[in-house]
C-alpha cells in the first residue's frame, strides 16, 4: 500500500446497511465506496496530489495511482529473488535495528561474499580472463573448488572445468542495493525494528518473538509488534515537533489552526493569496511538431546527440526542422538520414564490440557508403534482436527505408545512439572532453580570482593612502596642542619628553595616549581585516559559483599522470590566450567551455513537474510533461517574459526554475529574437518561391527553405 507522509494510510471502510440499488460513488483503483459526493471528491483530490510514496522503492512525489503501479512493478521484480537465499536474508532482517540503508548494505555485502551455483563471474585460464558460470560446488576436504562452464563464444575452451576459488574473479553483485531495499520493504510491516509479516516468518521458520534485549522497548499484542507507551509518547511528541501528523487525522486537517509557513515549500502545498493573483498568466505552449507527439522525445534526443557530438561522429550539424522533415520524408536515399545512420554505424565499428566482430565475419572490407549503409543497418538490427525493430529488416534490405513509419525510424536511431553511448571508444573520448572542460574551467577560475586579487589590492592601497592623509592632519593638530601645553607651563624637553609640574598627570596623559594609539591601531587592523575578508568573500563566492556551474574537480583522486596532463592543458590554454585582453580571454574561455557539451540538462521544473529544456542549437524553450507524453515550446521573447512572470517563488521548483531563467535571460532572449527573425525571413522566402513567375524573367527563383534538408551535405565526413 502506498505511504502518505511516509506512513501507512488507512482506506475508508465500506458503508454499513448499503442497499443494492442505492447510488454510491466508488474510487476506481482503491474500490472505496462513498455515499456523500463531497467526501468522495475530497478523497479523489487527495489521491491526485503528489504526496504519496511507493513503499517498495521509496519513490516520492507520486500520485496514489502512480505509487500503486510502482509497487506492482517492484513486487514483480522482487519475486525474482532466488528461493535459496530468502531464508538467510530474512533471518538478518528480523528485528534488526539498523536503518534501511545500513541494513541493505549489510545484506549486499553478505551476498557478495557467497559463491553459489548459477553465479556468473570471471575466471582465469592460461593467463587470460574469461566469463564463466558456476555449475557445481565441489568439496575437496577443507578446500572448496568450483566446476565452471565457460561462456566466451569466441575462444575455443573446454566446456567444463574445475578451478580453485583464487582463480575466480568476483564481478558486480547480482542484486543492487535498491533491489534489496525493495525486498526488505515488501517482506516487513514495520521498520526499526524491522518485523517480518507473520505468514512469511512462519513459512521460513523464523522466530516472531522479540529478542531479550528488545523486550523492554517492544511488546507483542495480537501477533503484532508494538512500541511501548512511554517510547511511543516521546516519538509522537518528536513527530509533532517535526511537522508529522497521524494519517487518520486527514479528515480533521481543515479544522486545525493555520500555522505560519516558511517559504519556499513544495509547490503543491502553496496556498494562494491576494499577492499571488498579481502573477502573470502562463502562456500555453505551441504543440505543432513535424513528427507525431509520441515521438517528440526520441526526436529531440537523437537530434541533440548528433549535433552536440558532431565533431566526434564526423557529422556536420543540421537544424531541428530539417531533421524532422527528413524523418517524415518517404525518400529512401535521403542524404541527411543516410549520413546520420552511417556516422553512428562507423562509430560502432571503431569499437571492438560484438557488432564489430559480427560484421567482420560477413564483410572483410569494412566500408559504409551511401549504397551499402542499409546492409550494415540490417546486420545491426539482426544482432540486437529487438522484435519490434527486426520486423523492418526485409523492408530495409529491399531499399525501401523511407516507407517505414516515423516511430520505427526514430526507434532505430535511438537504439543506435544508446549503443554508441555504451562503447568504450565513446567513453574514452568523453573522458578527454571532461578533462579539457576541467582545464578550461580552472583557467577561467584563475582569471577571475586574479582579477579579484587585483581589485582587493587596489582597494587596500586606496584605503591606506586615505589613512596616511588622515594621520597627516592629525600631526598638525598635535602642534596646536603643544602650543596649548606651553601656555600652561608644560614644556617639551630636548629629548622629546615633556616636563610637567605633576608627574602623575604626565603618566596619565602617556597612558591615555598609549590606549588611544592602541585603539587606533586595533581599529585599523580590524578595518583592514574586514576589507580583506569582504574581498576574499567576494572572490570565494565567485569561485564557488564557478565550481557549482562546472562541477567539482576530483583532483584528490587523480593520478600523477592525470595531474601532469591537466597542468599541461592549462599551460597550453594560457599560452593561447596570453596576448588577448581580459574581456577577450573570459569570452574565449566561456565559448570553449560551452562547446565541450557533456550532456543536456533541463532548466528546471514547474509546479506540476513539467520539465523545461533549452538546446543551444535551437532557439526555443521546450516543455515536457511529467509523464513525458506531451511536449510544447515557446519561441518568442514575449512568451519568455510571461513564463518568468507566472512562476511563483513560494514553491521550491518554480523558484529554482525562475532563478535559472533569469540567469540565462540575456542569452535565451537573444537566441529567441534571432530565431524569430530567421522564421520571418524564411516565411517571406517561401512566399516568394511560391509566386508564379513570368517566362520572360530569366532570374532563377529563390531556394525554398522547406526543402533545404534535401540539399544537406556532410562537410565533416571522414575520408
Instruction: Give me the pLDDT at residue 252, please.
Output: 44
Query: Which of 435, 440, 428 minimizes the C-alpha distance to 312?
Result: 428
Instruction: Give me the pLDDT at residue 470, please.
Output: 57
Which residues of the chain carry a pLDDT beneath 70? 78, 80, 84, 112-114, 116, 153-157, 170-175, 219-260, 466-584, 586, 588-589, 591-597, 685-705, 719
Among the residues of 596-696, which ranges form H helices? 637-646, 652-663, 665-690
**249 class by beta-carbon count within 10 Å (0-12 exposed, 13-18 middle, 19+ buried):** exposed
Per-residue pLDDT tens digits for 508-552: 444 443 444 444 444 444 444 444 444 444 444 544 544 444 444
Within 10 angstroms of residue 365's Cβ, the number of other Cβ atoms is 5
Instruction: Give me the pLDDT at residue 566, please.
Output: 62
Say what the pTM is: 0.51
Instruction: Give me the pLDDT at residue 679, please.
Output: 78
Instruction: Give me the pLDDT at residue 442, please.
Output: 78
Alpha carbons 292 and 288: distance in angstroms, whole number:
9
67-72-78-79 Cα dihedral, nearest 10 degrees: 170
Alpha carbons 477 and 400: distance in angstroms, whole number:
100
Alpha carbons 684 and 223: distance in angstroms, whole number:
79
| CA neighbours closer than 13 Å in the CB half-sphere of residue 541 | 6
C-alpha distances in Å from residue 428, one per residue of 343, 351, 531: 18, 11, 46
Alpha carbons 369 and 392: distance in angstroms, whole number:
21
Within 10 angstroms of residue 303's Cβ, the number of other Cβ atoms is 24
Instruction: Give me the pLDDT at residue 484, please.
Output: 39
Answer whether 96's CB lies under 8 Å from 103's CB: yes
Instruction: Give me the pLDDT at residue 685, please.
Output: 66
| CA neighbours closer than 13 Å in the CB half-sphere of residue 379 | 21
User: Any residues with CB less than 8 A from the CB of 431 and at least 6 apart, and which?
Assistant: none
Instruction: Give me the pLDDT at residue 408, please.
Output: 94
Amino acid at each position: 500500500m502506498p505511504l502518505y507522509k511516509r506512513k501507512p494510510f488507512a482506506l475508508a471502510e465500506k458503508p454499513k446497511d448499503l442497499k443494492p440499488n442505492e447510488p454510491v460513488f466508488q474510487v476506481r483503483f482503491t474500490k472505496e465506496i462513498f455515499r456523500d459526493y463531497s467526501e468522495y471528491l475530497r478523497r479523489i483530490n487527495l489521491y491526485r496530489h503528489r504526496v504519496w510514496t511507493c513503499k517498495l522503492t521509496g519513490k516520492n512525489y507520486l500520485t496514489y495511482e502512480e505509487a500503486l503501479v510502482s509497487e506492482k512493478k517492484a513486487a514483480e521484480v522482487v519475486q525474482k529473488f532466488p528461493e535459496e537465499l530468502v531464508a538467510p536474508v530474512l533471518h538478518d532482517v528480523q528485528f534488526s535495528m539498523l536503518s534501511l540503508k545500513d541494513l541493505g548494505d549489510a545484506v549486499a555485502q553478505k551476498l557478495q561474499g557467497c559463491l553459489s551455483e548459477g553465479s556468473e563471474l570471471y575466471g582465469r585460464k592460461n593467463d587470460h580472463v574469461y566469463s564463466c558460470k558456476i555449475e557445481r560446488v565441489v568439496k575437496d576436504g577443507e578446500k572448496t573448488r568450483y566446476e565452471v562452464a565457460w561462456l566466451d563464444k569466441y575462444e575455443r575452451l573446454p566446456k567444463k572445468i574445475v578451478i580453485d576459488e583464487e582463480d575466480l574473479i568476483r564481478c558486480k553483485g547480482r542484486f543492487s542495493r535498491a533491489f534489496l531495499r525493495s525486498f526488505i520493504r515488501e517482506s516487513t510491516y514495520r521498520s526499526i525494528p524491522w518485523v517480518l509479516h507473520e505468514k512469511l516468518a512462519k513459512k521460513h521458520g523464523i522466530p516472531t518473538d522479540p529478542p531479550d534485549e528488545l523486550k523492554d522497548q517492544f511488546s507483542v499484542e495480537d501477533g503484532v509488534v508494538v512500541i511501548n507507551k512511554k517510547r511511543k509518547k516521546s516519538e509522537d511528541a518528536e513527530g509533532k515537533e517535526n511537522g508529522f501528523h497521524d494519517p487518520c487525522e486527514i479528515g480533521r486537517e481543515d479544522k486545525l489552526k493555520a500555522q505560519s509557513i516558511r517559504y519556499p515549500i513544495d509547490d503543491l502545498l502553496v496556498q494562494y493569496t491576494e499577492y499571488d493573483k498579481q502573477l502573470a498568466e502562463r502562456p500555453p505552449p505551441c504543440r505543432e511538431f513535424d513528427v507525431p507527439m509520441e515521438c517528440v522525445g526520441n526526436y529531440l534526443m537523437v537530434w541533440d546527440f548528433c549535433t552536440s557530438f558532431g565533431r566526434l561522429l564526423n557529422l556536420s550539424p543540421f537544424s531541428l526542422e530539417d531533421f524532422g522533415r527528413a524523418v517524415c520524408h518517404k525518400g529512401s536515399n535521403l542524404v541527411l538520414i543516410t549520413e546520420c545512420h552511417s556516422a553512428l554505424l562507423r562509430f560502432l565499428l571503431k569499437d571492438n564490440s560484438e557488432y564489430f566482430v559480427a560484421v567482420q565475419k560477413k564483410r572483410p572490407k569494412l566500408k559504409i557508403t551511401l549504397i551499402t549503409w542499409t546492409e550494415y543497418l540490417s546486420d545491426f538490427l539482426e544482432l540486437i534482436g529487438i522484435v519490434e525493430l527486426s520486423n523492418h529488416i526485409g523492408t530495409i534490405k529491399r531499399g525501401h527505408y523511407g516507407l517505414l513509419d516515423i516511430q520505427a525510424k526514430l526507434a532505430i536511431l535511438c537504439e543506435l545512439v544508446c549503443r554508441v553511448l555504451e562503447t568504450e571508444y565513446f567513453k574514452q573520448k568523453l573522458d578527454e572532453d571532461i578533462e579539457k572542460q576541467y582545464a578550461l574551467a580552472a583557467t577561467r577560475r584563475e582569471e577571475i580570482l586574479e582579477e579579484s586579487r587585483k581589485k582587493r589590492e587596489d582597494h587596500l592601497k586606496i584605503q591606506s593612502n586615505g589613512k596616511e592623509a588622515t594621520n597627516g592632519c592629525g600631526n598638525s593638530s598635535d602642534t596646536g596642542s603643544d602650543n596649548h601645553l606651553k601656555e600652561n607651563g608644560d614644556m617639551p624637553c630636548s629629548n622629546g619628553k615633556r616636563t610637567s609640574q605633576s608627574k602623575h598627570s604626565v603618566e596619565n596623559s602617556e597612558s591615555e595616549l598609549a590606549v588611544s594609539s592602541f585603539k587606533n591601531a586595533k581599529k585599523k587592523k580590524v578595518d583592514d581585516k574586514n576589507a580583506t575578508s569582504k574581498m576574499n568573500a567576494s572572490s570565494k563566492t565567485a569561485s564557488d559559483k564557478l565550481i557549482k556551474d562546472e562541477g567539482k574537480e576530483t583532483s584528490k583522486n587523480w593520478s600523477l599522470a592525470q595531474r601532469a596532463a591537466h597542468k599541461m592543458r592549462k599551460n597550453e590554454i594560457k599560452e593561447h590566450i596570453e596576448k588577448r585582453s581580459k574581456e577577450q580571454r573570459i569570452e574565449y574561455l566561456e565559448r570553449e567551455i560551452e562547446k565541450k557539451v557533456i550532456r543536456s540538462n533541463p532548466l528546471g521544473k514547474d509546479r506540476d513537474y513539467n520539465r523545461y529544456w533549452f538546446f543551444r542549437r535551437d532557439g526555443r524553450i521546450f516543455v515536457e510533461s511529467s509523464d513525458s507524453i506531451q511536449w510544447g515550446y515557446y519561441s518568442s521573447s514575449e512568451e519568455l517574459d510571461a513564463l518568468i512572470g507566472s512562476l511563483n517563488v513560494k514553491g521550491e521548483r518554480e523558484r529554482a526554475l525562475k532563478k535559472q531563467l533569469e540567469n540565462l535571460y540575456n542569452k535565451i532572449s537573444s537566441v529567441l529574437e534571432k530565431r524569430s527573425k530567421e522564421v520571418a525571413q524564411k516565411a517571406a522566402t517561401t512566399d516568394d518561391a511560391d509566386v508564379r513567375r513570368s517566362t520572360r524573367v530569366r532570374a532563377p527563383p529563390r531556394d525554398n527553405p522547406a526543402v533545404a534538408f534535401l540539399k544537406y551535405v556532410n562537410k565533416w565526413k571522414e575520408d
